[in-house]
Structure 1
Amino acid sequence: MTRFFGAGGASVIAAACILAIGSASPAAAQVATMAATPTISSLPATQATTIATPATSVSVTLPSARAAILSTTPRPVSGATTAPAGAVAVRPAVTHAGLWPLVWANMTGAALDEEANCVATAVYFEARGEPFDGQLAVAEVVMNRAASGKYPTSYCGVVKQPWQFSFVRGGQFPRINTQSASWSYAQAIARIAKQRLADALPDDVLWYHADYVAPGWGRRLSKVEKIGAHIFYRA
């Protein structure tokens, strides 16, 4: 599936229940296994490049009272960080494992509004089966585009813009298996992204493509990061 070809314009019972949902993705199998573990004392650090560095772990209390370690930290309220002179501003590392507590906490809640639903739809069709950090990155590209002044100003407008997302046909979305684990995860990712509970990419990243293709426009942009099966760019 081509994507953005153009620079224009979980307890054990709970885990088993998740896996019982139709169309469970490889990511579902992994996170369900994690949910069956009473306590996660630590998670592997990541060696991120360009836009992310390993972050200090913080404790997160889940609704089930299971403790976990989240390998990401909130963005400073002031929006400012102290860094050596000449250093490139970075954000805390976000990993698939580190995002699991947030995904678990946001899989249920109020129904998504139309705009958030469009973000979740893009995540579902573009990145289901991807690690959670890769799904979050796709959601953020949609949001970044809407805020950039270069694309439609609404999330739905961005997703439905002609020739941008290959799953969109005539401005219409294909049928979603709303009973699937993938859709539950996509909705959670949309909630996380919209509330800015975690960040995977800088605000100026507006383009990406699958790693098995090499579109010509990629040579005119600056590669930022490869997350999951997608490569992300800024101008």
Structure 2
Amino acid sequence: MKYLRKIFILCTLLIFSAEITTFASTKIENNNMASNIKNININDNIINNASPDADEVVEVFNYNDNKIYLTEYDINLMAQVVYAESKGEPYEGKVAVASVILNRVLSPGFPNSIEEVVFQPNAFSCVIDGKISVTPTQECYDAVYDAIRGNDPTNEALFFYNPETATCSWMTNIEKTQSTSIGRHLFFNTK
């Protein structure tokens, strides 16, 4: 009877070990799939939206077959920037600010995630002065979603500033292309 009990315990341990091994390999496969979704290869450029889990993707921005997979965090972060950078601007100006963020993620000259673009050093005055910690209005979220749907009133601009209040000499002195004025902001690209 003693030996039967030991054999039973041994068999139970073997079965349990096999289940743990199967579970672990399934978990590794799922993590690898999530990593593959996070890093999308588009025309030999990797666009990484820093999504911690594929289940968190809530929106996809699609432009010329380039896709950015957006999480709730990305959308909230964009809405905060829109609020802080374009408070008092017309709705089109809010959409334009959101569009600049998306345009930068797609541009090879900028980081390849929403978070990295927003927190890139000296990129947005609201991050520099700490005014990004705001609660966006519904209008800001609407503007972000309009930009995600492809509404870009900036003509693919990568930069913007308010010429009346700008303290950055780079913005005022750089040669600009494709300039578009919306509200008090000037949206543009550089040569």
Matched, 1:210 2:158: no
User: Could you say which structure has the higher strand fraction?
Assistant: 2
Is the CA contact (8 Å cut-off) linking 2:80 and 2:135 kept in structure 1?
Answer: no
User: Hey, what's the Cα distance between the residues in 2 that align with 1:222 and 1:151?
Assistant: 18
Of structures 1 and 2, the one with the larger relative CO (CA 8 A, separation 6+) is 1
Q: Distance in 2 between matches of 1:229 and 1:173?
A: 19
Flag the 1:173–1:148 CA change in 2: closer, same or farther, 3 A. Answer: same
**What residue number does 2:121 align with?**
162
| Conservation of the 8 A alpha-carbon contact between 2:122 and 2:128 | no
CA-atom RMSD in angstroms: 2.7
For residue 153 of structure 2, what is the aligned residue in structure 1?
200
Distance across 2 between alignment mates of 1:192 and 1:206: 17
**Corresponding residue number in structure 1 for 2:20:** none
Q: Which amino acid aligns with 1:212?
A: E
The question of 1:130 aligning with 2:89 is answered yes
1:154-193 deviation digits (Å, cap 9, x = unpaired): 11211111111122159x7643235xxxx11101111111
Q: Is the 8 A contact 1:127 1:135 kept in 2?
A: yes
Amino acid at match of 1:144: N
TM-score normalised by length of structure 2: 0.55
Count of equivalent residues: 120
Higher helix share: 2
Corresponding residue for residue 50 of structure 1: none
**DSSP-derived class of the 2:79 partner:** helix
Q: CA deviation at 1:219?
A: 2.9
Report SS of the residue matched to 1:115: helix
User: Would the aligned equivalents of 2:160 and 2:185 in 1 still touch at CA under 8 Å?
Assistant: yes
Equivalent residue, structure 2, for 1:43 = none
**Structure 2 stretches lacking a partner, 5+ long:** 1-63, 65-70
Q: Is the 8 A contact 2:160 2:188 kept in 1?
A: yes
Q: Name the aligned partner's letter for residue 155 of structure 2.
A: P
For 1:25-59, what per-residue CA distance to the aligned partner results, in whole angstroms no more than 9, with x for missing partners?
xxxxxxxxxxxxxxxxxxxxxxxxxxxxxxxxxxx
**2:84–2:131 CA contact under 8 A, matched in 1:** no
Distance 1:119 1:210 in 2: 19
2:188 counterpart of 1:229: no
Counterparts of 2:132 and 2:189 in 1: how far apart (Å)? Answer: 29
CA contact (8 A) 1:117 1:190 kept: no
In the alignment, the residues of structure 2 paired with residue 175 and residue 213 of structure 1 have an alpha-carbon distance, to the nearest angstrom, of: 21
Q: CA deviation at 1:212?
A: 0.6
Give % identity: 29
8 Å contact kept, 2:78–2:144: yes
Identify unmatched segments of 5+ residues in structure 1: 1-77, 79-111
Structure-1-length-normalised TM-score: 0.46
Using the alignment, how far apart are the partners of 2:131 and 2:94 within structure 1?
18
